[in-house]
Structure 1
Amino acid sequence: MIPVIAVAHGSRDPRSAQAMAAALTALRARRPDWDVRLAFLDLNAPSVRQAVDAVAAEGHHRVVVVPLLLGSAFHARVDLPGILAEAHVRHPHLELVRTDVLGPDRLLVAAARNAVAATGVSRLDPSVGIAMCAVGSRRAGADAATAAVAPRLLAGTSWTHVRACFATSTPDVVGALTALREAGARRLVVAPWLLAPGLLWDRACDAAQSAFPDIRIATPLAAGDAVGRVVERRCLDALADSTGVLRSA
């Protein structure tokens, strides 16, 4: 059985860990030959270190590590690789296969599009305006890369209005919704480019509802089966490729 450690960000909000755990349920059913475990970079247990140590203690020689992250910011580029490098020193005979991050996979974009439609707006209504809300990043270019995902939500619909916005940077959700309304959108939806609910998402929703009481709010991406399906794809790709593998000398 192949051990797979899915690594989430972690949150003080218990709904976040619950949502990430639920997102992996369907994957376990589809891949009974995989031992899928959830670990966290911060604030929740088990930590990545604890999860890797447990795999090594059980006698496994290979583990696949999947970052449950939508972008390649600090946690993906620095934090997780550093943790895994330390783990490799502790367990030199354990092969650590690190996959790419989840986003912006087409399955997640489709899940976001479906979540917008599930709020009750028609896919044929050109007056729909979507504010795609992500966390935001201080890394140069990261927010622009996220913003590039927003137009992909329109594919296969008659929607014409979409703006990216961020919970920790600009434009914020109220600014994006204001711009959408000024551009002619009449039915406004906030779509989270977020995996799970949490405090930042709650704040964005509260601000949106205060400024636009008729706003519709879509569910985060982990609510469906898309996250599990992307994790499966990342694992299969990584197992077929030596890239990202740490081996003993």
Structure 2
Amino acid sequence: MATAGRHPAAEGARLGRGAIPLVAVAHGSRDPRAAATVEALLERVRQARPWLPVRSAFLDHGPPTLAQALHGLREAVVLPLLLTEAYHSRVDLPAALAEARARDARLRVRYGTTLGPHPLLLDALERRMAEAGVAPGARDTAVVLVSAGSSDARANAVVADLARSWGERAGWWAVAPAYASAAGPTPAEAVAALRAAGAPRVAVAPYLLAPGFFADKVRQSSGADVVADVLGPAPELVEVLLERYELALAAETVMASA
């Protein structure tokens, strides 16, 4: 895994020669807790790399838009604050990026990959489980890994693969995927199935970046014994975000306006 901060461009920035700004784009939510969580995550990125200019943007439900966040920049690394590759990362964000670039012929953009999948996200999930009182790999505990869900079957398959990997690595009684929308099983269905299979205790691990509608829905209706917190500004996400930034810097492809 790349070590954050050691890319030549990043090192040069640390020495005062300027850094290409990082613009992190989240989905956005009507719930103000979501934007606050994004800002808390990015503040930890700023603390880890004080020389790196960091801006936030949202695809929906409030400013700044991506175009607003990119305004005045000549060059930027745009990173999606999304946990899986799905419609937002494949369609919405590139469309917003194309619109922003069309407005400014000088703008050069490197477009990075989503936060997930990444092994460190399992560490972050285990951190949240431990904070909820569930020791990582507790053999008397079955886990339901809950994502927001997507109409894109590929994104849901990534979550299923992550659940399988987590079960193989950690030693839980079982790990099952579930989806808060657009696909099945629902969290309540997955919890009920694990209980029917004999699980002594069932915990829910939200594979969600921030609090909001889906997180509240899962907490209120899953029927689990324990529901952990969302990933939020976990230090593992800071490390993943910085790694994605460096990988984008190292890529040769730069999106430039026509």
Match of 2:188 in 1: 174
Give the distance between the partners of 1:91 and 1:38, measured in 2 at CA.
Answer: 19
1:1-249 map, 5 Å: 1-53=19-71, 56=72, 60-123=73-136, 125-154=138-167, 156-168=169-181, 169-208=183-222, 211-212=223-224, 215-243=225-253, 245-248=254-257
**Matched length:** 239
Q: State TM-score, norm by structure 1.
A: 0.90
Give the distance between the partners of 1:81 and 1:180, measured in 2 at CA.
Answer: 39
SS in 1 for 2:53: strand
SS in 1 for 2:123: helix
What's the C-alpha RMSD, in Å, of the aligned pairs?
1.6
Match of 2:13 in 1: none
Letter in 1 for 2:58: F
Does the aligned pair in 2 maintain the 1:162–1:180 contact within 8 Å? Answer: no
Could you tell me how far 1:133 is from its partner in structure 2?
0.7
Letter in 2 for 1:17: A
Give the distance between the partners of 1:232 and 1:124, measured in 2 at CA.
Answer: 28
Letter in 2 for 1:102: L
Give the distance between the partners of 2:44 and 2:160, measured in 1 at CA.
Answer: 29
SS in 2 for 1:222: coil
| Long gaps (5+) in structure 1 | none
Give the distance between the partners of 1:155 and 1:92, measured in 2 at CA.
Answer: 49
**Distance of aligned partners of 1:124 and 1:200 in 2 relative to their CA distance in 1, 3 Å threshold:** closer
Deviations 1:3-61 (A, max 9, x none): 111001000111111111101122101212211111100002111111112xx2xxx42
Could you tell me how far 1:155 is from its partner in structure 2?
5.1
Give the distance between the partners of 1:52 and 1:121, measured in 2 at CA.
Answer: 42
Could you tell me how far 1:239 is from its partner in structure 2?
0.4
Aligned-residue sequence identity (percent) comes to: 39
SS in 2 for 1:5: strand
**Distance of aligned partners of 1:93 and 1:216 in 2 relative to their CA distance in 1, 3 Å threshold:** same
Does the aligned pair in 2 maintain the 1:39–1:51 contact within 8 Å? Answer: yes
Does the aligned pair in 2 maintain the 1:127–1:184 contact within 8 Å? Answer: no
Give the distance between the partners of 1:190 and 1:4, measured in 2 at CA.
Answer: 32
Could you tell me how far 1:248 is from its partner in structure 2?
4.2
| Long gaps (5+) in structure 2 | 1-18
Bigger shift: residues 41-50 or 144-153: 144-153
SS in 2 for 1:181: helix
Give the distance between the partners of 1:17 and 1:172, measured in 2 at CA.
Answer: 26
**Distance of aligned partners of 1:224 and 1:139 in 2 relative to their CA distance in 1, 3 Å threshold:** same
SS in 2 for 1:141: helix
